[in-house]
Each structure stands twice: as structure tokens, then as C-alpha cells.
Structure 1
Amino acid sequence: MKRPTSMRGLEDLGRVRLSENFFLRDFLHSEIGSLYGIPNIPDDPDLAIAAGSRLCAELLEPLQATFGRLHLRSGYRSHALNNYGNAHDLNCARDDATGHVWDRRDADGCMGATACVVVPWVWDRHHETGEWQKLAWWIHDHLPYASLQFFPKLWAVNISWHERPKRLISSYAAPRGILTREGMANWAGSHAGLYAGFPSFKA
């Protein structure tokens, strides 16, 4: 599929269904794009669709099936938009290939995709300092994520799918830093006692 150059073409691209409940259009909105007039359109739609489909099917669908409707904060970002956001300190990572930039492969040739989501069910019940960790451990025990990065507002989390997952959890919310990664004593085994009362997993 070619990069769309017309409104009709962009409409058709947005109608591409990534999974049962998510379409590509759900991930194309960007405040940076809207405010600064930078189109948020994939240069390689096929790669963006392939990576986004795995993100949605393997991570977002079971998360939404278990906890109810997700709030999508940020999804796909074009390379140009992400670079602008990074250069102007607008919360975009530098060199974000396979992060929010779904249509570029990383240095190893792997694909990946990231979305920033809020899980209202969790925030409404567990918004005291440090309680983002409950959701972090639930995801760690149930989903094939590549990385998780939590933020203070609403426990928003960058949840990533990648062909070579590192399964690293970090946070800008207190307590800041690395929660777990391979090699740490807390990485393996069940953490069910840390999220008691959460809904049962639904695929």
C-alpha cells in the first residue's frame, strides 16, 4: 500500500482494521500534528499496519477485554512528527523507530509498535502513590509486552510490542526508575499477590 496523498486515500487507510476493536484511524490523532500542521501519515503503511496489528491483537485487545474501554493517549507518529516533537521538547523520544514510529524497523531489522494508554478501571480504584505497579505486574504476568513505561498522570503507560521483547518496566511515576527487567530477582514467577482484586484475565 502506498502512502496516501488524498483525503479519500487517508480515509481508506484509517478504515484498515488492526484487530477486533481497533482501526488504524484510532491511532493517527496527534496534538502535535494538529497544532503545528504536521501530517501524521505513515510513509510505509504496510509496515505500520503489520506492527500495529500485533500491538492491538496481542496487547490492547486482552487489556481492554479484561478491564473495559481503554483511553488511547498516543499511538502512531510519523518520523517527521516525532522528530519535531523531540526537537521542541514535546515528549517525543529521540530515534523512536519501532516505538511510536511504527513504520520503521530498528537497527536489527525488527518491527515494533507502541501506544500510550490509560486504563480507567485501574486509575479509578488505585491512584495512590506507587499503585501504578499493580497494573505493571498484572501486565507482566499476563501479556507478551516488550516494554512498559509509566507516567504520573492517570498512570498512562507506553505499552510496546516488539519482535524481540526485552520485557523491561520503567516509570516516571513514583517510585521512579526500573521496576523489573531480565536478570533482576523480581522478574520471574507470579506476582498475583501484588494486584489482588483485579479482574480475571480475558483473552
Structure 2
Amino acid sequence: MRKPQTVKALEDFGRVRLSESFFMRDFLYSEIAAINGLSNLPDDPDLAIAAGTVLCETLLEPLQQQFGRLSVRSAYRSPQVNEFGNLHDLNCSTNAKNYAGHIWDRRDTQGRVGATACVVVNRFIPHYQRTGDWEAMAWWVHDHLPYSDMEFFPRYAAFNLQWREEPIRQISSYIPPRRGKLTGPGMENWAGAHETAYAVMLKELD
């Protein structure tokens, strides 16, 4: 598939079904692009579709099946949009760091394919606002889904959820007071199950 150049081509691209619940159009909106008149479309639509399909099928669909509707906060970024965000301090890392992350249509420096979406689990918001316990969601995903990286943010406990070939499986947070890495390879809490960390959450959301 070529990069969309017409309304009809973009309509067709946006209607590509990545999984049972998600279409490509769900992941293309960008405030940076909208405000600054930038194109947020992939140069390699086929690679973006391939990476996004695995993200949706292996991470977003199971997460939504368990907890209900997800809201997509940020997902695909074109290299142009991501670079603009990085240069203007708009919470975007460099393009090289975002290949196989928010930039779905570029392999990373090691040739791996990947895709990231920042999502909010709507039913989780009241639990998080009452308790501040974002770690419950983090540990549930860690125990159940084949993610590569998660980053949690203070508002609504939104988090970047990445699928990538050869996953790292690490979790970090920008939520005080526990900013930094929660777990990752080599840490004592990385292996095994963590049911006690999310048992209360599951009971409340049942």
C-alpha cells in the first residue's frame, strides 16, 4: 500500500481493521499534528498495519476484554510529527528512540518491528483516583500480556503500552512518589506471579 495522497486513499487506509475492535483510524489523531498542520501518516503503511495489528491483537484486545473500553490517548506518530514534538519539548523522545515505538512504520536500530499506544483503561480511573495505585494495572499486564515496555503517567494512569519483537518487559512510571523503574530484567521482582498486587483491583472491577 502506498502512503495516502487523496481523501479516498486515506479513507481506505483508516478503514483497515487491525483487530476485532480497532481500526487504523483510531490511532492516527495527534494534537501536535492538528495544531501545527503536520501530516501524521506513515511512509510505509504496510509496516504500520503489520505492527499495529499485533499490538491490537495481542495487547489491546485482551486488555479491553478484561477491563472494558480503552481510550487511545496517543498512538502512531509520523517521523515528522515526532521530531517536531521532540524539538519543541512536547513529550516526544527522539525519532531513533521511538522507531518501533510510537513510530510504527520504522524498524528500530536492531531491525525489530514494534508499535506503541498510550491508553486509558476507563473502568480503572475511579480505583486509581481513590487509591493512587497504578501498580495494580502494571502488574496485571506484566503477568498476562506479551508487552515489551510500559510507561505510566499521572493523569488517569494513562500508560504507553508497547509491543515489539524481542520484548524487554520493563515498567516505568512518572507518577509520584514512585517515579522511575518498577521492574525490568535482572530485578528481583521481575519473575514470577504478582497476584497480590492486583487482587483488590480485580475484585473492585469485577
Give the TM-score category using the shorter length: over 0.9
Alignment partner, residue 154 of structure 2 = 152
SS of 2:171's partner is strand
Does residue 106 of structure 1 match 2:108? yes
**Identical counterparts, % of pairs:** 56
In structure 1, how many angstroms separate the alpha carbons of the residues matched to 2:62 and 2:113?
A: 21
For residues 59-89 of structure 1, the C-alpha deviation after alignment (integer angstroms, 9 at most, x for no partner) is: 0000001100001000100000100011011
Moved over 2 A (4+): 126-130, 197-200
Check the 8 A contact 1:40/1:81 in 2, yes or no: yes
User: Retained in 2: the 8 A contact 1:75–1:100?
Assistant: yes
Greater fraction of residues in helix:
2
Is the CA contact (8 Å cut-off) linking 1:66 and 1:199 kept in structure 2? no
Is contact 1:152-1:172 (8 Å) kept?
yes
CA–CA separation in structure 2 for the residues paired with 1:130 and 1:169: 17
Is 1:125 aligned to 2:127, yes or no? yes
Structure-1-length-normalised TM-score: 0.96
Unaligned runs of 5+ in 2: none
Deviation at 1:198, TM superposition (A): 3.9
Structure 1, unmatched stretches of 5+, are none
Deviation at 1:121, TM superposition (A): 1.3
Deviations 1:148-192 (Å, cap 9, x if unpaired)?
000011100000000010001000012100000011110011100
Aligned to 1:33: 33
Give the secondary structure class of the aligned counterpart of 2:73: strand
Q: Which amino acid aligns with 1:7?
A: V
Task: Answer whether contact 2:127 2:133 (CA < 8 A) is retained.
Answer: no
Q: How many angstroms does 1:129 deviate by?
A: 6.0
Q: How many angstroms apart in 1 are the aligned matches of 2:10 and 2:131?
A: 42
Superposition pairs for residues 37-76 of structure 1, below 5 Å? Answer: 37-76=37-76
Aligned-pair CA distance for 1:197: 3.5
Q: Could you tell me which residue of structure 1 aligns to residue 139 of structure 2?
A: 137
Confirm or deny: 8 A CA contact 1:116 1:159 kept in the other structure: yes
Q: Do 1:71 and 1:117's aligned partners in 2 also have CA atoms closer than 8 Å?
A: yes
Question: Are 1:183 and 2:186 counterparts?
Answer: yes
> Take 2:23 and 2:126, find their aligned partners in 1: how far apart are those partners?
26
Note the aligned Cα RMSD (angstroms): 1.2
How many correspondences in the alignment?
Answer: 200
Aligned residue among 161, 166, 176 for 2:163: 161
Letter in 2 for 1:30: S
Query: 1:92: Cα distance to partner?
Result: 1.0
1:118-169 deviations in Å (ceiling 9; x for gaps): 0111121232564110100000000000000000111000000000100010
CA gap of 1:116–1:99, structure 2 versus 1, over 3 A, is: same
